A and B are shown apart, each in its own frame.
Chain A
Amino acid sequence: MIAFAWLLTRAITLAIAGQFVGEIIPTLAALAGVVVLRSVLIWLLELAANRGAAQVKSQLRALVLAKLADRGPDWVASRQSARLSTVVTTGLDALDNYFARYLPQLLLTVIATPILIAVMLWQDLGSGLTVLIVLPVIPVFMILIGRATQSVQQEQWQALQRLSTGFLDVVGGLGTLKIYGRERRQFDRIRSITEEYRTRTMKVLRVSFLSGFVLELAASLSVAIIAVSIGLRLIDGALLLGVGLFVLLLAPEAFLPLRQVGAQFHAAADGLAAAEELFAILDDEAVPAATALSSALSTVPPTADAAGARTAAPVEQLGPRPGSGSGALRLAGVSVLRGDTIVIDRLHAEFAPGELSVVRGVSGVGKSTLVAALLGFVPVTGELSLGGVAVPAGPGRPWLAWAGQKPGLFRGTVAENVALRAASADPTVPDQMAPSRTVPDPVLIAQALLWAGAADVSPATVLGVNGDGLSGGQAQRVAAARAIYRALANDCHVLILDEPSSALDAAAEAGLLAGLRRLADQGRVVIVVSHRSAVAAEADHEIELQELIHV
């Protein structure tokens, strides 16, 4: 549509320009009309393109987030979160150029160029043929040059990457350099790094600018050829002036869309890279967990006590089992697989209500994996039962309260964090949160903070992104308080804390442990993963995870 109008505009402009000796006023008026029409159309084109881009972005973002939610925390943790969020925010913004500029331009090229060429062919066969011959040559040449330069560029790439981070390295390490009195020497280093960066980049650019050069040269030379050939035929009287001028003006227009596609392509390249990552996320099909697990486990040589573990069926198919301790959390032959490695192999354990249990083990033995398994974030095989009833697979365990190694606090007040409800996203925007299911209870919040040994933290303290505004130890205790609040408010039967005191001094740790003791006394299952001796001393029950010996 638009391309056609554009062409029409051109055609009329030129037709009129051709008959410049004729009656002036009506043609001038028509010309003026077309000029206005054309600018309106350009505006509409951009409007449509931008709207489209905004809509597509929203849809993609929603899709990706839904996918992430669907995949669960363990899947997300296996990717770098910073990278993921870059893809979902700025990566999507980079798509702006792709959707709002590159695609419309490409469309325009596909539509407008054939029409322009057709008109030229119709008006003047010779000129039309010239364009028709030159036009396909351009992409061919660009591809050829691209191929030829690819090896050169790849050779340089690695070096360039290192050099481009060289400055960051120096600036970031400046504190360290000052400690060793080396800061003054860095001037030379920066200069030489940047100089080398320049020479290497220029080497690459000299070649990559060639493709642009070819494009420009082909376009302007074919205009020149057309002009000269038209001129010569005009002398012979074989051609009318009007036609000649018209074709001459159409010739650069025929190349323009293609040139602009080339120009926009660079801007769109970022977006394309982001898009690839997005689609990689969307297309990532998780291997059905249970089958992967059972097939992997079947390669493990059976051992004597493996009778329970060999039933590699998903846990939800297991019925309630009689005879387990009332309210105890039991693990019978629980195995967890990550990738191809078995992290937890047929673990048997029982956590009794009213007891404070501590899970110990050297680093990397799978303590955090065990927690993730209890949370339902990773697929497990074997039996996991609470009070004799099998626990269904997957997250969403209303009887469980948990605090992880990373505090994971949100923007908002400490009270909002403890009573974790959706915090307002933007302080300048009226609060339109979803109604939380439970109204936060200030008394309960204070109690949770007290029991987490965090009585010194005011519930009204406002936190920034990632819990900014609290020290590491305070954040850790607030996170523990959040789990305690949930345990108290929802009457969760099981409380799991993963290294809750790693950043705490002895006094704060003692406060937390006293709180945990009271929760256990209320009849809860309290599990603490910790290597701290103070925690072990307080615990009623200790589970030592052994390192797996892989065959």
Chain B
Amino acid sequence: MSDSMPGAAARDVLRLAQPRPRWFTPGLIAGIGSAVMAVALLACSAWLITRAAEMPSLAFLGLAVVGVRAFAIFRSVLRYLERLTSHDAAFRQLAELRLGIFRRIVPVAPAGLASTGRGDLLTRLVRDVDDLQDLPLRVVQPLLVAALTALLSVIGIWLIVPAAGLTLLVCLLLAAVLGTILSGRLAATADRELAPLRGALADEVLEVIENLDVLTAFDALSPRLAQLARTDARLRRATLRRSVGVGVQSAVVSLFAGLATLGALYFGIPALGTGGGLLSPNLLAPTLVVAVLVPMAVFEVFGMIPLAASAWRQVRVSARRVADVVPASPPAEIPVDIENSLALPEYDRDEFVLELTDVGAHWPGQTEPGVAGVSLRLAPGDRVHLAGPSGAGKTTLAQALVRFLDYTGSYRLGGVEARLLAQTEVRRMVGLCEQRPWLFDDSIRQNLLFARDTATDAELLAVLARVGLADWAAQRGGLNARVGERGALVSGGQAQRIALARALLADFPVLIVDEPTANVDTAGADALVRDILTAAADAHRAVLLISHTPVPDDLITSRVTMPFRG
């Protein structure tokens, strides 16, 4: 998250988070109403008491008595309504926000997302998107409510004692400006000083905890802990230095609240009995008391502003992170459908050939090509093992073949250059079982059905049997068994088998299986590779198995070894 981040991208993201006026306004009106009622309650009570001290007849006070009670009730009712309507608006907008972000993610995913491959970063992206709901709830609404209520109060006081109204205005402005500047300064210092320290500490803690076994076995634990304690101490010292400034903001608000009251007294008392503002050509004691006390109530409402400011900083950070991870337009390495992209012409499945000549591909943001100079040919019935050391770019090639990454050189599908085809067309022909297959938090049935939604239960069970999961599925309770969040309830090998079952259902003419054993217990890996190749073998299908580990010759028709890079 560099400071040089252009704000435009983040602003785009923020715009998505703000609910449309139709949803937002009711909450806003209720909020302002509630805040005005709070001020009015105090004003009315003060007037009531002071007027009562002059011992008028009870009838003069009747209206005020009713007013006080009404203000008290309406204030709470409106506040309740405000919270309900504004939350409702924020949640409604959440759908828009998610869709808007999703619309931007779709063309670039998965290869163009800066977070690809890092599950935790992805989780953070989603959490950041959801945190953006705070924008209307905790930033825009409190700010508008506070500002408008303050404005109304200033006008009211100005009508009573013009000078006091002006004092209140000046005090409010100063409190807002000084408070915001001070807290902004402090936050900036905090970001500069504390955030790196905090990050360093978090990284160190994670390293120590994750590698406690290594540190213990290598007798390196106590120096590590000592070093951690030093980082902790640095962070603590920085925090202590900063804490001097933290309370300044509330102090400033409190100071100006007092000053506004003082101002009202200072200007109001001489005017007593002579001349006031428009409303009170002859200023009376009850009115004066109102003018003196209202500032206190206003500043209480005003207290929302510091909270809103800190919420704003958090929202802004989230927006920036989202904007960073999700580029507004796809980077050059991510393919975009050309205009008038073709549908694949009629073809004979048994003649459908995939042909690569000198193919290379880049990951976004990398200077070196992830893979280069690959030539191979896949015909129906072929089972090719793509071998090569880890880091040779085998996965890069797989991503390019399903057009998640753009390619250089020539890649022909059924005789047509893949670049000319719509991406969806390519992916109709070429399927991929990913290294980490994603299982949706749903039943086994749903995880299979989206590959071919017309499949019957019998077909699903048959395909599960083909990939060696029949017993397992039966044990789990059939197709309705859930796989858990991110497939938490299935092992790495089972996940691969489910992914293969999916691919078999979709019946791709060309199937790429990328490192199926990467997340599989080493002992089960050989059996998995054998099962995959046996299940996928078909005279009408070409299979490309990507694996750095040896594959027995009897399972494959040929082997291609990736060249080393550089």
Known contacts: A54-B236, A220-B72. The answer to whether A165 contacts B441 by CB under 8 A is yes
Q: Which of A34, A166, A180, A184 sits near B451, CB closer than 8 Å?
A: A180
Main DSSP-derived SS at the A contact region: helix
B393 to chain A, nearest CB (A): 10
- A190, B99: Cβ atoms under 8 Å? yes
- Residues of chain A contacted by B235 (CB below 8 angstroms): 58
Interface: B345 (CB within 8 A): no
Chain A residue nearest to B91 in the complex (CB): A198
Q: Which of B155-163, B239-247, B455-463 lies at the binding interface?
A: B239-247
Interface with B: A115-123, A209-217, A308-316, A321-329, which one? A209-217
Interface-facing stretch out of B8-16, B146-154, B425-433, B531-539: B425-433
Give the residue of A62, A362, A420 whose beta carbon is less than 8 angstroms from that of B214. Answer: A420
CA distance A264 to B488 in the complex (A): 36
**Residue contact A162 to B390, C-beta cutoff 8 Å:** no
Q: Is the interface of B mostly helix, strand, loop or mixed?
A: helix
Q: Within A90-118, which residues are at the interface with B (CB < 8 Å)?
A: 90, 93
Binds A, one of B225-233, B353-361, B412-420, B464-472: B225-233
Residue among A21, A84, A180 making CB contact with B450, cutoff 8 Å: A180
The interface residues of chain B lying within 8 Å CB-to-CB of A191 are: 95, 99
A66 to B246, CA, bound (A): 31
Which residues of A sit under 8 angstroms from B71, Cβ to Cβ?
Answer: 220, 224
Q: Which B residues are CB-close (under 8 A) to A411?
A: 203, 207
Contact among A434, A471, A474 for B223, CB-based, below 8 A:
A434
Specify the chain B residue showing the minimal Cβ separation from A166: B441
Contact (Cβ within 8 A) B211 A205:
no
Give A215-232 interface residues, CB cut-off 8 Å to B. 216-217, 220-221, 223-224, 226-228, 230-232
The answer, yes or no, to whether A20 is at the interface (CB within 8 Å) is yes
CB contact under 8 A between A31 and B258, given known A171-B105, A213-B79, A363-B523: yes
Q: A42-B250, A45-B247, A194-B91 are in contact. Are A434 and B226 (CB under 8 A)?
A: yes
Closest A residue to B441 by beta carbon equals A169
- Tell which of B65, B77, B246, B387 touches A228, judged by Cβ atoms closer than 8 Å: B65
Please state if B261 and A13 are interface contacts (CB–CB under 8 Å).
Answer: yes
- B265 contacts A17, C-beta separation under 8 Å: yes
Q: Are A216 and B246 in touch, CB under 8 angstroms?
A: no
Size class of B's contact patch? 35 or more
Whether B110 lies near A175 (C-beta < 8 A) is yes
CB-CB under 8 A from B518, the residues of chain A are: 472, 503
CB < 8 Å: which of B41, B206, B243 contacts A85? B206
Distance from A485 Cβ to chain B, minimum over Cβ atoms (Å) = 10
Would you call A20 and B49 a contact (CB within 8 A)?
no
Cα(A3)–Cα(B109), bound, Å? 56
Which B residues touch A349, using CB under 8 A?
none
B388 to A28, Cβ gap below 8 A? no
**A216-B79, A220-B75 as given contacts; A248 in contact with B437, CB under 8 Å:** no
Cβ-based interface call for B221 (8 A): yes
Mask for A395-434, Cβ within 8 A of B = 1, else 0? 1111010101000101100000000111001101100111
**Chain A residues in contact with chain B, CB under 8 A?**
13, 17, 20-21, 24, 28, 31-32, 34-36, 38-40, 42-47, 50-51, 54-55, 57-58, 61-62, 65-66, 68-69, 72-73, 76-77, 81-82, 84-85, 88-90, 93, 162, 164-184, 186-187, 190-191, 194-195, 197-198, 201-202, 205-206, 209-210, 212-213, 216-217, 220-221, 223-224, 226-228, 230-232, 234-235, 237, 241, 244-245, 248-249, 252, 361-364, 375, 377, 395-398, 400, 402, 404, 408, 410-411, 420-422, 425-426, 428-429, 432-434, 436, 465-466, 471-474, 482, 486, 499, 502-508, 530-532
| A84→B208 CA distance, assembly (Å) | 11
Q: Give the segment of B55-63, B274-282, B312-320, B376-384 that binds chain A.
A: B55-63
8 Å CB contact of A221 from B73, B103, B225, B441: B73
B59 to nearest A CB, angstroms? 11
Asked whether A51 lies within 8 Å of B240 as measured between CB atoms, the reply is yes
Question: Chain A residues near B51 (CB, 8 Å)?
Answer: 231
